[in-house]
């Protein structure tokens, strides 16, 4: 179907530890997979994205991996800091350019 399943819904980590959020989808026509960060009371902002012809992408402490065969993709944040605390959303775009979001993960980084 259209949905993107996102897990976990909440994640609490100690500052300096890594955080991993995973999303799964079923539509094999999906070709673009972004991740958005939303701080409390603010609008969502793109932090990293990956296209279907790439398996991994990194940007400093953030990385995204994509397994097209298994239809899942993950966000990895290393050396977490308190300012990483926010809600993170994954999303997928299908061949009609429709962007469907997961339900979000609330990340808390404990100092």
Partner 1 sequence: NAGVTQTPKFQVLKTGQSMTLQCAQDMNHEYMSWYRQDPGMGLRLIHYSVGAGITDQGEVPNGYNVSRSTTEDFPLRLLSAAPSQTSVYFCASSRGSSGGAYEQFFGPGTRLTVL
**Contact residues: partner 1, CB under 8 A:** 2, 6, 9, 32, 34, 36, 43-46, 49, 89, 91, 93, 96-104
Q: Which is nearer to partner 1, 72 or 106 (CB)?
A: 106
Instruction: Give whichever of 38 and 78 is closer to partner 1, judged by the CB atom.
Output: 38
Residue 70 Cβ vs partner 1, minimum distance, rounded to whole Å: 22
Cβ at position 77, least distance to partner 1 in Å: 19
Output helix, strand, coil percentages for the chain, rounded to the nearest 5: 5, 55, 40
Asked if 35 and 47 touch (Cβ cutoff 8 Å), the reply is yes
Report the distance separating Cα 40 and Cα 18, nearest Å: 22
Task: Quote the tokens at residue 7.
Answer: 């897990």
């Amino acid at each position: 179907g259209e949905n993107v399943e996102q897990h976990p819904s909440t994640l609490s980590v100690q500052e300096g530890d890594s955080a991993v959020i995973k999303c799964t989808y079923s539509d094999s026509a999906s070709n673009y997979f972004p991740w958005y960060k939303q701080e409390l009371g603010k609008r969502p902002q793109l932090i990293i994205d990956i296209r279907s012809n790439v398996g991994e992408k990194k940007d400093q402490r953030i990385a995204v991996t994509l397994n097209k065969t298994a239809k899942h993709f993950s966000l990895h944040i290393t050396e977490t800091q308190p300012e990483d605390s926010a809600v993170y959303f994954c999303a997928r775009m299908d061949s009609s350019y429709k962007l469907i979001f997961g339900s979000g993960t609330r990340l808390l980084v404990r100092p």
